[in-house]
């Protein structure tokens, strides 16, 4: 799609129902909905939602940033969240910012039951670490990294961008009613990415809005759907179909792609939660059997909430003195539950089995 190719009229939103409710789409909606419902249910089986939210949100943060070619490692991320250090890479900082932005958006949805224009601005600000806000300068185009060809030209006029974004937010907050919220998810994501309202962070902001929309519509309770994994594995198709809707006003393949993304990643996340729950139960039994004097369920759960732990975390969570906290962690290392690592002046204790599980 060249720079001078006319855009689909983005103001004509939402699309006509005959374009977004085809027979193929309506056949696929129940599959994605069933997988998502199973994920919502199994998420409640863990005793502490924090351990699940932290684990999955961090994976989503890493994956979503990788789509934008912001690459970091799990090890760098957990260290950045555990130690007080300014010596973290820019890529790691951006992923940590994504995690923070997810939690900010989650708080808005939980407390308000809707999202405002200012909320989305704050989410994007936390992601990028700047106050640039809505694009005001013309000239923004999206290019093919390999060929340099302009593949899409988003709206250039600031007032047009604001008008389009205002309509999108209104639709975002409306009850889904007759149209499946999973179909709405696909068209909202396409519209947001096509408006491309910011200088930076549009893709990551859009992927956060996906999760918040599912929570807003009761399809999830907590932000644990790892959609970025599917997009990474099918990245070329993602951009091809996204652009195809603007070029040809053809929605079916794009919506089918997003429904498959929800279904596949729901099932993958269910597997991950099941594995975490199994490892938690196994670790509880191991500590009970081999170190009964220090066993506390809250202690083991902390190691799953914070795969990289330290004395301060135990002190704050269990309300014990530093000496006792240190003894607990050293004993857990002795029986092979934890592995210590010196980082500067601090000693971190890594739940190695959980860390390896989360890396997969």
- Token readout for 30 is 């129940």
Residue 206 CA, distance from chain mean position:
10
Residue 6, pLDDT score: 42
Contact 237, 253 (CB under 8 A): no
DSSP-assigned states of every residue in 271-290:
HHHHHHHHHHHHHHHHHHHH
Question: Which residue do the tokens 């919502």 mark?
Answer: 40
Sign, CA dihedral 15-17-19-24, equals: positive
- The C-alpha atoms of residue 230 and residue 223 are separated, in whole angstroms, by 16
Burial grade of 50 (CB within 10 A; 0-12, 13-18, 19 or more): middle
For 165, phi and psi rounded to 5 degrees? -70, -40
Residue 98, pLDDT score: 84
Residue 184, pLDDT score: 97
Residue 84, pLDDT score: 62
Pairing of strands 142-143, 339-343: unpaired
- The C-alpha atoms of residue 303 and residue 298 are separated, in whole angstroms, by 9
Pairing of strands 308-309, 346-350: antiparallel
Residue 7, pLDDT score: 58
The pTM of this model reads: 0.88
The four Cα atoms 113, 226, 25, 202 give a dihedral, to 10 degrees, of 70
- Spell out the domains of the chain, with CATH numbers in brackets: 17-272 (1.10.3290.10), 291-359 (1.10.10.10)
Would you write out the chain's pLDDT as a tens digit for each of its 360 residues? 344 444 567 888 999 999 999 999 999 999 999 999 999 998 887 777 776 777 777 777 667 777 676 666 666 766 666 666 556 777 777 777 888 898 899 999 999 999 999 999 999 999 898 888 899 988 888 777 777 777 788 899 999 999 999 999 999 999 877 899 999 999 999 999 999 999 988 988 999 999 999 999 999 998 888 888 898 889 889 989 998 898 888 999 999 999 999 999 999 989 988 998 999 999 999 999 999 999 999 999 999 988 888 999 999 999 999 999 999 999 999 999 999 988 878 898 999 999 888 877
Residue 75, pLDDT score: 65
User: Looking at residue 174, what DSSP letter applies?
Assistant: S
Calculate helix-pair angle for 297-305, 49-67, nearest 10 degrees. 10
Neighbours of 158 (CB within 10 A): 15
- Angle formed at CA 223 by CA 206 and CA 109, multiple of 5 degrees: 75
User: Which of these, 183, 275, 226, 195, lies nearest to 53 by C-alpha position?
Assistant: 226
- In the chain the first and final C-alpha atoms are separated, in Å, by 37
Residue 3, pLDDT score: 44
């Amino acid at each position: 799609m060249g720079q001078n190719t006319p855009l689909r009229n983005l103001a004509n939103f939402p699309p006509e129902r005959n374009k977004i409710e085809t027979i193929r789409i309506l056949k696929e909606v129940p599959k994605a909905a069933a997988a998502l419902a199973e994920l919502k249910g199994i998420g409640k089986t863990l005793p502490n939602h924090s351990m699940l939210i932290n684990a999955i949100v961090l994976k989503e943060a890493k994956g979503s940033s990788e789509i934008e070619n912001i690459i970091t490692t799990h090890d760098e991320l957990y260290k950045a969240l555990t130690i007080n250090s300014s010596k973290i890479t820019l890529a790691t900082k951006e992923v940590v910012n994504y995690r923070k932005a997810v939690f900010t958006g989650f708080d808005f949805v939980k407390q308000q039951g809707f999202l405002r224009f200012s909320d989305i601005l704050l989410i994007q600000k936390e992601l990028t670490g700047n106050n640039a806000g809505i694009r005001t300068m013309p000239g923004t185009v999206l290019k093919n990294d390999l060929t340099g060809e302009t593949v899409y030209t988003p709206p250039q006029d600031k007032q047009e961008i604001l008008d389009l974004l205002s309509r999108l937010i209104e639709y975002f907050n409306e009850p889904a009613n007759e149209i499946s919220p999973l179909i709405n998810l696909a068209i909202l994501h396409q519209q947001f990415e096509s408006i491309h309202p910011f200088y930076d962070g549009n893709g990551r902001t859009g992927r956060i809005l996906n999760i918040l929309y599912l929570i807003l519509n009761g399809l999830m309770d907590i932000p644990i759907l790892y959609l970025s994994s599917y997009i990474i594995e099918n990245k070329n198709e993602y951009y091809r179909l996204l652009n195809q809707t603007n070029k040809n006003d053809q929605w079916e393949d794009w919506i089918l792609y997003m429904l498959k993304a929800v279904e596949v990643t729901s099932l993958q996340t269910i597997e991950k939660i099941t594995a975490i729950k199994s490892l938690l139960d196994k670790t509880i039994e191991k500590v009970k059997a081999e170190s009964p004097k220090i066993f506390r369920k809250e202690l083991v759960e902390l190691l799953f909430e914070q795969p990289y732990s330290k004395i301060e975390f135990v002190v704050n969570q269990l309300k014990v003195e530093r000496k006792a906290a240190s003894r607990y962690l050293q004993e857990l290392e002795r029986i092979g539950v934890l592995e210590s690592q010196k980082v500067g002046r601090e000693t971190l204790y890594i739940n190695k089995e959980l860390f390896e599980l989360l890396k997969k």
